[in-house]
């Protein structure tokens, strides 16, 4: 198992290289009867599409998704859903020194160390284009979740030092600025900062936050399949992410129990919590509150400055990466974080169907002989 499949009940297998003929994903385990169209998926993909504004590369790709299997007369059939995008920007080109040198901050060296050679064209399998498969799967998972009243929302929490405080969030404007920040004013400040980075031939890191609303209590498996553990893996598996936290996250290290514990209370037959330091997860299982996670995203490693490195023959050299590069990864990664969170939650919701004998009894008594 070489790790290209994610999930236990709702499984997602991505495949494809940056400059190969196509890129795609296969979803196995999506229940039958979910209404699904190519538009549902395209809408998600368009959020990560390059060339949308001056902070994203102008790769000329339409990234048009095609559903090749698993959907019949507008509904999922319960069989594998194969989703593919043809790569259009495959023209033969001179990869120049990229072919021979290890770009700092990229996976060129580690792929060579692992496999003995690599597909050097546009980063090959380690390219950000691999996330197309994740986002396509995330669109399907999100559609499934919306049927159950669950909504996943990711946005840019910070770019460099420009961080939107929670008190100034306006979810309504996330899609209204090219940086997907929940506050247009901060987005403008961040844009200025990115202009400055570009001017300095440099790039910026940032932070993505993701919240999940409408989550029922009881989802997540108690040991290695904890909801937070799976979310951490899912989000950390996105290329540039270097840290993941849930609820109060790293600040719990300095907290005390009396301030960090969330008191329960009951109101109109519902159990809820007065605060949500836990980010909606206790013992790895959802507690019915909003799920909150944050991911730290490193600065784009491709910068225009000259950098020291070695070539694949082990000779010291320096490298200038030509071409235009995004000064920040964060905005395009927002929908990837949202997608990985949606897939994770869908997977655990389905897995949870097997948690109680009464669920089996309920399903099989109602459907004793199939129909």
Interface positions, 337-356, toward a copy of itself (CB under 8 A): 349-356
Cβ at position 165, least distance to a copy of itself in Å: 15
Segment contacting a copy of itself by CB under 8 A, of 41-49, 50-58, 182-190, 358-366: 358-366
The 307-326 site mask, x for binding a copy of itself (CB under 8 A), equals xxxx---xxx----------
Say how many Å lie between the first and final Cα of the chain, rounded. 37
Q: CB nearer to a copy of itself: give 117 or 172.
A: 117
Q: What are residue 346's phi and psi, to 5 degrees?
A: -60, -45
The 17-56 site mask, x for binding a copy of itself (CB under 8 A), equals x--xxxxx-x-xx-xxxx----------------------
Which positions ≥6 away from 338 have C-beta within 8 Å?
A: 138, 142, 152, 153, 154, 210
Other beta carbons less than 10 A from residue 367's beta carbon: 9
The 156-195 site mask, x for binding a copy of itself (CB under 8 A), equals --x-xx----------------------------------
336 is a contact residue toward a copy of itself (CB under 8 A): no
Cβ at position 79, least distance to a copy of itself in Å: 4
Q: CB nearer to a copy of itself: give 31 or 178.
A: 31
Q: Which residues of 232-265 are buried (b: 16+ CB within 10 A; e: fewer)?
A: bebbeebbbbeebbbbbeeebeeeeeeeeebeee
Find out whether 57 and 326 touch, Cβ atoms under 8 Å.
yes
- Restricting to residues 82-141, which ones interact with a copy of itself according to CB under 8 A? 82, 84, 102, 104-107, 109-119, 124-126, 130
Measure the CA dihedral 165/171/173/175, to 10°. Answer: 110
From the number of C-beta atoms within 10 Å of its C-beta (0-12, 13-18, 19+), residue 202 rates as middle
Q: CB nearer to a copy of itself: give 167 or 258.
A: 258
């Amino acid at each position: 198992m070489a790790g290209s499949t994610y999930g236990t009940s709702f499984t997602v297998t991505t495949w494809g290289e940056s400059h190969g003929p196509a890129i795609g994903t296969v979803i196995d385990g999506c229940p039958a009867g979910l209404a699904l169209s190519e538009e549902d998926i395209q809408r998600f993909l368009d959020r990560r599409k390059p060339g949308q504004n001056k902070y994203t590369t102008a790769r000329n790709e339409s990234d048009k998704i095609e559903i090749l299997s698993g959907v019949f007369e507008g509904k999922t059939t319960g069989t594998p859903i194969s989703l593919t995008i043809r790569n259009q920007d495959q023209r033969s080109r001179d990869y120049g020194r990229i072919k021979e040198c290890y770009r700092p901050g990229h996976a060129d060296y580690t792929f060579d160390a692992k496999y003995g050679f690599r597909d050097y064209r546009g980063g090959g399998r380690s390219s950000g284009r691999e996330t197309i498969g994740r986002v396509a799967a995330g669109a399907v998972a999100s559609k499934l979740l919306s049927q159950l009243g669950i909504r996943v929302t990711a946005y840019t929490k910070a770019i460099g030092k420009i961080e939107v405080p929670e008190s100034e969030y306006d979810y309504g404007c996330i899609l209204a600025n090219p940086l997907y920040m929940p506050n247009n004013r901060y987005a403008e400040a961040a844009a200025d900062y990115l202009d400055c980075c570009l001017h300095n031939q440099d790039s910026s890191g940032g932070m993505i936050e993701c919240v999940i609303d409408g989550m029922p209590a009881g989802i997540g498996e108690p040991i290695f399949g904890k909801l937070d553990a799976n979310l951490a893996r899912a989000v950390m598996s996105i290329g540039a992410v270097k840290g993941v936290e849930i609820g109060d996250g790293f600040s719990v290290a300095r907290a005390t129990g009396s301030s960090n514990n969330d008191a329960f209370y009951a109101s109109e037959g519902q159990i809820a919590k007065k605060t949500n330091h836990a980010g909606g997860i206790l013992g790895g299982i959802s507690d019915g509150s909003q799920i909150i996670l944050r991911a730290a995203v490193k600065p784009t490693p491709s910068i225009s400055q000259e950098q020291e490195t070695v070539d694949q023959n082990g000779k010291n050299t320096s490298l200038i990466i030509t071409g235009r590069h995004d000064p920040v990864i964060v905005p395009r990664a927002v929908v990837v974080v949202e997608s990985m969170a949606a897939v994770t939650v869908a997977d655990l919701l389905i897995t949870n169907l097997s948690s109680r004998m009464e669920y089996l009894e309920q399903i099989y008594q109602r459907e004793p002989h199939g129909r």
